[in-house]
Chains A and B, each alone.
Chain A
Amino acid sequence: MSELDVAQVVALSLYVSITATVLTSLVGLPLGAFLALKRFRGSWLMRTGVYALFALPSVVVGLIIYTLLSHSGPLGFLDWLWTPIGMVLAESVLIFPLVTGLTMSAVSDVDESVRLTIKTLGANNRQLMARVMHEARFGIFGAVMVGFGRAISEVGAVWMVGGNIQGSTQVITTAIMQQTQMGDFGTSFALAGILMAIAFIVFFVIREIQERG
């Protein structure tokens, strides 16, 4: 692999993972907060379901998304199979329970007296949820970063849905697997170093923000 190829693989990895994290956060954060704050018929089942999906195997996600996006599948008309968009979809589905569930935990940890105080200041339901999320912001940020960490290190689902096409859908993890199988350990270790560096940066940022909080 040339340096240009490596740069392209790293760029695509970041693009797919960041896009999946942002899209998941747009839905997962408010949903997590809602499930933490509201009690309704079936809410216990939903919360339990979200936590249970933490253990969702990536190959199962890959299989489901592959089936949906394949030409004979219900979403085949989108033509997303073997594309970065398909990979974004797979990673989004994979990290959705993590981001939602960890947000739920962070919001649940906000003391009941804090919620009561916000209400005494005249907050309506929407404002209450926003303010409680603000109180839980360090935990919520951690949830987003854990989601990103899971997405960038993902291999099974992106391989199945993206196809590991060099110059098109190859990301760091799938490139490491391919280069290792080809016996190019130098490139594999270089890519592994980049992946580890990204993981450490994510961990460092989480720690730094939580320490400051």
Chain B
Amino acid sequence: MNLGLAVNAAGISKTYSGSTVLTDVSLKLGAGELVAILGPSGSGKSTLLRILNLLERPDKGVVAFGASGSVVRDGQNLRRRMTLLLQRSVMFRDTVFGNVSCGLRLRGMSDREIRDRVLKVLGDVGLQGFERRKAQTLSGGEAQRVAFARAIAIEPEVLFLDEFTANLDPPNIKMLETALAAYRQRTGCTTVMVSHNPFQAQRLAKRCLFLYQGQVLGSGPIEEVRRQDDDKIAAFFRGDLI
């Protein structure tokens, strides 16, 4: 299966109440590629993800998807081919099954298809037998794994991950990174991952975009960006800029 969808964002700018969050940011991903967006807190990474996921409109610039690179006009249909996993796992007031099946029900899938898909993805994140548990009773790590299962259950062609392992313990981080690698290998899904952990970015991605105060300071292979002669980038990779 090859689900990956190319992403091309050009000249993205965004301002909230007079405060500029993104300035002329461009990002291009080939189908199936994984790119990390790096930068300290408040650099506009999450805003960029929401714009790429078509949840917000940029003030300037365009976002295009697919090999043809056509600019998005009908956001609704396209939005169903991608999803965004938020940093803080949000659990609906429902069972684990109800949570993971949500996106599938929105797509009108049959009960049998939904059941098969939910059991499959719960197995992928090591939560077999959790279907009937109330989602509100899960630990932070379990909740984030359920949120990840819910995201991949809809088999997105583009997966946006916003600090998807933040505040998790090493076993949960490893579990999620393994599940991500397995899903990407199975589907060829294009992935954009926001992180302020340079080590995780180096583990998972080959290429990165470095944002600082809404502007691109570096872009390209992670190692090349790391070696760039820039104080902010150097401080970030040393762990002095968070």
Contact = CB atoms under 8 A, between A and B. Distances in A.
Smallest CB-CB A-B distances: 7 pairs: A121-B103, A122-B80, A120-B84, A117-B90, A113-B90, A120-B83, A123-B106
Interface of A: 111, 113-114, 116-124, 127, 131, 134-135, 137-138, 213
Nearest to A112: B90
Contacts of B151: 120-121
Contact of A135 (B55, B83, B92, B150): B92
Given A116-B55, A135-B93, A213-B93, A122 B106 contact: yes
B180 interface: no
Contacts of A134: 92
A114 B154 contact: no
Interface residues of B, number: 21
Interface string B144-162: 0001001100100000000
Contacts of B51: none
Interface of B: 53, 55, 76, 79-80, 83-86, 88, 90, 92-93, 102-103, 106-107, 147, 150-151, 154
> Secondary structure of the A side of the interface?
helix
Nearest to A117: B90
B90 A122 contact: no
A208 B53 CA distance: 40
B102 A119 contact: no
A124 B76 contact: yes
Given A121-B150, A121-B154, A122-B107, A113 B88 contact: yes
Contacts of A127: 106
Given A113-B88, A114-B92, A120 B102 contact: no
Contacts of A213: 93
Nearest to A138: B93
B159 to A, nearest CB: 11
